[in-house]
């Protein structure tokens, strides 16, 4: 009985920590957060661009040094969009109207020389 209780408590702690990665609520810059590895990616759509922040495990300290971001917009065809560094984030130039025409965006990123897995976002964007 004691072992069942310990197992259930462990499952509760693990399931709660799985949701604490930021995907269920806005990130620190008001965007959509995914965790492709040892860091977080925050996607922030704007009127004529998409901003991408590469954040640490605490959803803080965005950096762009030794980092890169590429968006792959997917529908019937795939469009690759390079993003340029702007201070501590990346700017990807695409209008909100064009962005909305795609069904998915894959964010390929490297943060401080560490490559993450592809962060996959379904369009329209929503919190998990």
What domains, with CATH codes, occur in the chain? 2-122 (2.60.40)
Q: How many other CB atoms are found less than 10 A from the CB of residue 28?
A: 16
- Model confidence over 67-77: pLDDT tens digits? 999 999 999 99
Tokens 């998409």 locate to 50
pLDDT for residue 90 is more than 70: yes
Predicted model pTM: 0.83
For the CA atoms of 25, 15, 42, 32, the dihedral, rounded to the nearest 10 degrees, stands at -40
Confidence grade of residue 98 (pLDDT, cut at 50, 70, 90) = very high
- DSSP label at residue 23: T
């Amino acid at each position: 009985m004691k072992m069942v209780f310990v197992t259930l408590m462990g499952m509760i702690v693990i399931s709660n920590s799985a949701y604490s990665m930021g995907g269920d609520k806005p990130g620190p810059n008001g965007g959509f957060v995914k965790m492709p590895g040892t860091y977080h990616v925050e996607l922030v759509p704007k009127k004529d661009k998409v901003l991408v922040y590469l954040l640490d495990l605490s959803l803080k300290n965005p950096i762009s040094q030794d980092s890169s971001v590429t968006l792959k917009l997917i529908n019937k065809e795939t469009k690759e969009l390079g993003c340029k560094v702007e201070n501590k984030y990346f700017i990807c130039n695409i209008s909100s109207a064009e962005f909305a025409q795609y069904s998915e965006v894959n964010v390929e990123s490297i943060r401080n020389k560490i490559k993450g897995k592809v962060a996959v976002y379904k369009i329209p964007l929503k919190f998990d």
